[in-house]
Amino acid sequence: MDPANQRLVDLARQATADQDWTSAARLFRELAKARPETASNWHNLALAATRRDGTAEVADLRRAVLLAPGEPRYLNNLLVGAAEVACVRLIARLLVLAPTHARALADRSFVLLRAGDYDRAFGTARRAQVADPSLAEGVARAGQAKARLTRVVLAKTLYRRYLMLDPTDSTGLGRDLARIGGLGTTQAMTPAFVAGVFDGYAAGFDSHLIDTLGYIGPRVLGEMLDALITSPIECVVDLGCGSGLSGLTLRLLARQLIGVDLSARMLERAWQRGIYDALHQAEIVSWLTLDQGCYGLAMAADVTSYLRDLQPFFQAVVSVLEAGGRVAMTAHEQAEGDFAIVEGETYSHSEAYLHRVAVAAGLAIEQQTRGAMREEKKRPLPTLFLVLRKQ
């Protein structure tokens, strides 16, 4: 490589290491212009642009795939970033070039699943499994097809095999397994999956949540707290702080505000607001268990939907609250039972269950109100807003 291009590569790598996505995207664009025949230049450009804006130029991803059709990462990222029609054509083209390309077969199976053609989806996923038995997506798509065909026993077996191949559950099928009764007490949504979802959602999160879904969770909790709290609290923790919408409410109540979240991209957004004193990238229950802090208030706004059993959560929160400290939280409410994975694909919890596990952990129900923190599938999401107090 000539020295000028080598310098560009070094600078682009440095910008990537520094997570300076604006510079990285600019440098990879220059490199792609200088060496358009190199697939990785187009792919790296698309990745940097995704980090910067939340979306990539589909044309850049497509160029990378056409230059290196056998590279599964490029194809996968195109499927995530490109319009579906373009994907379908691309997968078909790849399968003409390489009929036993396992990744392309698994992706073709996914397209068939979405089209409701479950028998062919299963057959195609089986071919993917034969081509590469270690490819988790092939097993996953076969399991999804069987679940849609109501072959529940087989679906459970396939889902379990998939989770053995991909214990981080990057495609989020633990939820499906939980829904068909095949997952014990383990989390149906792994931290890696939740982090991935919100990393991808971060750029458009605020406008989608507020303008499209009418999110009012932090505002309602803030109003409940205003009636109870008369002077600033020394130390407040925002659990699952996301992009910091909840922090905007909390900042007015706190001398020191700490945020915790799984998603690095959401935390970047939160940090840009300049309202947090410290932010931690961690799973909240694990973090609370290790944390030595002593908080007067912990908020969990639109977060318990990602936690199945809330007993460990309440126990961990209570362990870091000062005497008389409070938890302010929303919960997507279900009428009966303890908890379930519902249509919106997150957890809901019943009032009776919430009260039982909160009280068992040493919390009293100080205030409670019902409403809708936001919409889901164009319908108000039944929500319990709770303020709990450590006894």
Ligand X SMILES: C[S@@+](CC[C@H](N)C(=O)[O-])C[C@H]1O[C@@H](n2cnc3c(N)ncnc32)[C@H](O)[C@@H]1O
DSSP lists the bridge partners of residue 390 as: 363
Closer residue to ligand X (CB): 41 or 383: 383
Q: Which of 106, 178, 245, 316 binds ligand X (CB under 6 A)?
A: 245
Residue 233 binds ligand X, judged by CB under 6 A: no
User: Closest separation between CB of residue 371 and ligand X, Å?
Assistant: 15
Answer positive or negative: Cα dihedral of 234, 238, 241, 246.
negative
User: Closest separation between CB of residue 381 and ligand X, Å?
Assistant: 11
Closer residue to ligand X (CB): 140 or 284: 284
Q: Which stretch binds ligand X (CB under 6 A): 48-56, 132-140, 235-243, 315-323?
A: 235-243
Asked whether the beta carbons of 66 and 95 are under 8 A apart, the reply is no
Give the residue from 284, 324, 322 showing the smallest Cα distance to 300. 284
Per-residue mark of binding to ligand X, 178-197 (x: CB under 6 A)? -------------x--x---
Residue 241 binds ligand X, judged by CB under 6 A: yes
User: Closest separation between CB of residue 76 and ligand X, Å?
Assistant: 22
Residue 45 binds ligand X, judged by CB under 6 A: no
Residue 240 binds ligand X, judged by CB under 6 A: yes
| Residue at shortest CB range from ligand X | 242
Asked whether the beta carbons of 375 and 342 are under 8 A apart, the reply is no
Residue list 4-43, contact with ligand X (CB under 6 A): none
Closer residue to ligand X (CB): 180 or 197: 197
User: Closest separation between CB of residue 212 and ligand X, Å?
Assistant: 13
Residue 169 binds ligand X, judged by CB under 6 A: no
Residue list 210-229, contact with ligand X (CB under 6 A): 217-218
Q: Which stretch binds ligand X (CB under 6 A): 40-48, 133-141, 239-247, 378-386?
A: 239-247
Residue list 283-342, contact with ligand X (CB under 6 A): 283-284, 301-303, 306-307
Closer residue to ligand X (CB): 191 or 296: 191
The count of chain residues that interact with ligand X, using the rule CB under 6 A, is 22
| Structure tokens, 216 | 């009012």
Q: Which stretch binds ligand X (CB under 6 A): 52-60, 66-74, 100-108, 254-262?
A: 254-262
User: Closest separation between CB of residue 273 and ligand X, Å?
Assistant: 11
Please give the residue ranges that form the binding site for ligand X (CB under 6 A). Answer: 191, 194, 198, 217-218, 240-242, 245-246, 260-263, 266, 283-284, 301-303, 306-307
